[in-house]
Amino acid sequence: MKRLLTPFVFLFAILYALLTLLLFSCRTEERVEPIIGKQVFSFSEVERNSGAADETTTPAFVLLTLKDSQGNMRENISLSLSPSGQGYQSAGLDLPAENYQLLEFVIIDGAHKTLYATPKEGSALAPYIANPLPLGFVVSQKGVDAFAPPVLGVTPDDTPGAFGYTSFAPGGAGNSDVMLIKSNVKMDIGGVLYENVDAQIHVNGYDANNVLQWEKDFNFVGPADNLLEVKKGFHHYSIALVDKWGTNDIQSDIPGEVFWDGRADGSLPVTYVLVGSKKAKKLSSYILSNEVSAAGGGTTYQPNLKIEFTYTVGGHLDQIHHKTYNPETAQFEETTTDTFLYEGDVVSEITSVMSGRPYAEYQYRYGAENIITETLHYAKDLVGTQTSKTDSENNRVNVAYSYSNGGAFSYTFDFRYKNIVSDITTKGQVCNTGSYAYDKNINPFRHLGYMDFDLQNWPANNKVAEDVHYFTCGFPSIVPVTHVYTYDYDGYPVTKITSYKKGNPDDQTNPDFSFHTKVEFTYE
């Protein structure tokens, strides 16, 4: 005979079912993962009368503190900075998609020197910017969000308190378990020393039996010495450059007491310099293509020029073949060929021919002044002479150009880390001035082994932005503004996209103008 449930048992069963359903629902909710977005940070400097940050150092890291909508704090977040356009952009920070408040924002170089900071509301320096901290920002679910807080340059007379901070020091600087070790990285590529590079450094700590006890990776950002927070107390250490452009370097078996005495604030401070070294790759060819209108709308790139390089058995540049693209045959057709002659390892003469006839020639002389004499046979044997002299004390090169028809002008440029960073051209009066920014990768033209008449082979790195202003002496129809690259594993450019603006002063800010070229590189 079936037994009926008593009211008490029936009520208990209902409550148990509801409780089970509630627990299951809670557990299901617990398994819901937050949607993660990616945030990057840059910064915009606001000028003030009392000075600016030290421009001889390079921003390397951003230190920030933020708070989410629930009041949860994330303090002393450190993100590496990389050049982006004419500024810098941080590595991406993964955050749940929601609203945040930025509470502290500091820019430092690789040696932990404070370069910029955003003042907090109520601080002495807050009136210098329109929007002091805290600043709100939103991390969305789609793509990468960017945020650029305003910053002031930190001068030697500034204190953290003037910005509303208790300290500019990064987290861990006061940790008694670590020591600060100075490091730097250089790269010797084909005899050219690259002194402004980014790389990964790996530090190991071992016991007396050579058993690994501790290890840590560091993102080195050049060119300044970086301070590495290394755990102290081990028998010996190693510090290594890890796979930079396919090279490695290591300093191993460093006794613990030597590491300790050589720390940044030790009795015998040492900078551990790691150097990667390898031969330069040889540029085989590049193709320059222009942006053109495509059938059916839009744009595409059509080849314009192809330049091919051949080398001697000994590795010297032998010939350069200049070719133009024929759209009717869809082939490149050779126009001129340059042949190189050497005295020892340096170029002494370049002869150029077109269809078997002399086209141009260049004679090289070296000394306190380097002289290149250009004879343009195609221009009724017009002779041009380039005379250059380096002022190493001021990182400046003075160049004089003179021509057999009486023409002359002077060109002066300042250099930093083997790159032309600013220049001025004069011809009785100022013709134009320019400033330039570069990446930290390898310019293949620097490794061709000769200097061209127009100094295009001079920079060691690749130009990423340029700001040139023309005043007299003529105006180009278009001028390049930015260059965007892709690179191979060895640090060489594979493609370059250049954006241009109009050269006429009246049209330089025309927002409707857009023109691009593409260069594709190949290597042996």
d(CA 435, CA 464): 11
d(CA 351, CA 400): 22
Per the CB < 8 A criterion, the answer to whether 222 and 198 are in contact is yes
> Confidence class of residue 410 from pLDDT cuts 50, 70 and 90?
very high
The overall average pLDDT reported for the chain is 88
At 173-232, the pLDDT tens digits run 445 688 989 999 999 999 999 999 999 999 999 999 999 999 999 999 888 889 898 999
**Mean pLDDT calculated for residue range 27-44:** 72
**Mean pLDDT calculated for residue range 111-139:** 90
> Quick one: pLDDT at residue 504?
64
418 pLDDT more than 70: yes
Could you give phi then psi for residue 259, rounded to 5 degrees?
A: -60, -40
Would you call 524 exposed, middle or buried from its count of C-beta atoms within 10 A (0-12, 13-18, 19+)?
exposed
> Quick one: pLDDT at residue 311?
98
459 pLDDT more than 80: yes
Beta strands in 316-453 (DSSP E): 317-326, 331-343, 346-354, 357-365, 370-376, 382-391, 396-403, 408-416, 419-426, 430-438
4 pLDDT more than 70: no
> Confidence class of residue 337 from pLDDT cuts 50, 70 and 90?
very high
- Residues 233-247: b if buried by 16+ CB within 10 A, e if exposed: ebbbbbbbbbebbeb
d(CA 79, CA 311): 44
Could you give phi then psi for residue 326, rounded to 5 degrees?
A: -105, 105
> Confidence class of residue 18 from pLDDT cuts 50, 70 and 90?
very low
- Ranges of each domain in the chain: 36-158, 179-278, 283-345+417-523
Which is higher by pLDDT, 57 or 73?
73
Q: Let me know if the fold of 36-158 is the same as that of 179-278.
A: yes
5 pLDDT more than 60: no
Task: Extract the tokens encoding 170.
Answer: 């990064």
Which is higher by pLDDT, 178 or 50?
178
Can you give 86-153 as a three-state secondary structure string?
Answer: CEEEECCEEEECCEEEEEEEEEECCCCCEEEECCECCCCCHHHCCCCECEEEECCCCCEEEECCEEEE
pTM of the model: 0.73
> Quick one: pLDDT at residue 50?
52
Per the CB < 8 A criterion, the answer to whether 51 and 43 are in contact is no
Can you give 189-207 as a three-state secondary structure string?
Answer: ECCEEECCCEEEEEEEEEC
Look at the block and give the residue holding tokens 């082979």.
457
Q: Rounded to 10 degrees, what is the CA torsion of 90, 92, 95, 99?
A: 50
| Cα-to-chain-centroid distance, residue 20 | 58
55 pLDDT more than 80: no
SS3 176: coil
> Quick one: pLDDT at residue 162?
85
Per the CB < 8 A criterion, the answer to whether 458 and 451 are in contact is yes
d(CA 281, CA 297): 39
d(CA 299, CA 297): 7
> Quick one: pLDDT at residue 49?
61
> Quick one: pLDDT at residue 24?
44
At 429-458, the pLDDT tens digits run 999 999 999 999 999 999 999 999 999 999
Task: Extract the tokens encoding 287.
Answer: 């193709």
At 301-323, the pLDDT tens digits run 999 999 999 999 999 999 999 99
d(CA 154, CA 117): 7
> Quick one: pLDDT at residue 63?
92
Task: Extract the tokens encoding 278.
Answer: 């390898």
9 pLDDT more than 60: no
330 pLDDT more than 50: yes
- Residues 307-320: b if buried by 16+ CB within 10 A, e if exposed: bbbbbeeeebbbeb
Could you give phi then psi for residue 140, rounded to 5 degrees?
A: -95, 175
Task: Extract the tokens encoding 171.
Answer: 């987290």
Fold of the domain spanning 179-278: Immunoglobulin-like (2.60.40)
6 pLDDT more than 80: no
Per the CB < 8 A criterion, the answer to whether 239 and 124 are in contact is no
Q: CA separation (Å) from 274 to 98, 167, 234? A: 42, 31, 21
Could you give phi then psi for residue 446, rounded to 5 degrees?
A: -65, -25
At 74-97, the pLDDT tens digits run 888 888 888 887 789 998 898 998
> Quick one: pLDDT at residue 305?
97
CATH number attached to the domain at 36-158: 2.60.40.3540
Task: Extract the tokens encoding 195.
Answer: 């002194």
**Mean pLDDT calculated for residue range 58-82:** 88
Cite the DSSP H helix spans in 383-482.
none
At 469-519, the pLDDT tens digits run 999 888 888 889 999 999 999 999 999 999 998 766 555 555 566 789 999
Q: Over pLDDT 90: what percentage of the chain?
A: 66
344 pLDDT more than 90: yes
> Confidence class of residue 56 from pLDDT cuts 50, 70 and 90?
low
> Quick one: pLDDT at residue 169?
65
